[in-house]
Amino acid sequence: MMSNNYCFDPPDPPEHKYPICPLCNAECETIYHSCDGDILGCEHCVSSVDAWEWQAEEEKNAGPDPDRLYDEYMDRQSA
Ligand SMILES: [Zn+2]
C-alpha cells in the first residue's frame, strides 16, 4: 500500500544570517573563548583595552608609586 504522498513544506530557513552569541543573543561573527573552552562572548559583548593603559590605570589606583608606570606609558605613547 502506498503511503500518503502529501507534500510537506520544507523546514523554515534559518531566521538569522549570523550565529547567535550564547551570552548576549546578538548576531555575531566571532565567538571568544578561553583556552579551557569556556565561552566568553562575542565581538558585541567582549571588549579589549590597551594593556599598557589598563596597567597604568591599575597602578594609578592601587600602586604605591602611582605615577611611575603611567609616566612610562605616556613616554611610550609619545615616542
Ligand atoms: Zn555576545
Domain boundaries, the chain: 17-47, 49-79
pLDDT at residue 72, as a whole number? 78
| Residue 43 CA, ligand 1 centroid: distance in Å | 6
Q: What is the pLDDT of residues 16-37, one digit of tens each?
A: 589 999 999 999 999 999 999 9
pLDDT at residue 14, rounded to an integer: 59
**pTM (2 decimals)?**
0.48
According to the model, what pLDDT value does residue 67 have? 64
CA distance 53 to 28: 27
Residues with CB under 5 A from ligand 1 (ion): 21, 23-24, 41-42, 44-45
With a cut of 50, list the residues of the chain below it in pLDDT.
none
Interval between CA 71 and ligand 1 midpoint (Å): 35
pLDDT score of 13: 64
Residue 53 in contact with residue 74, Cβ under 8 Å? no
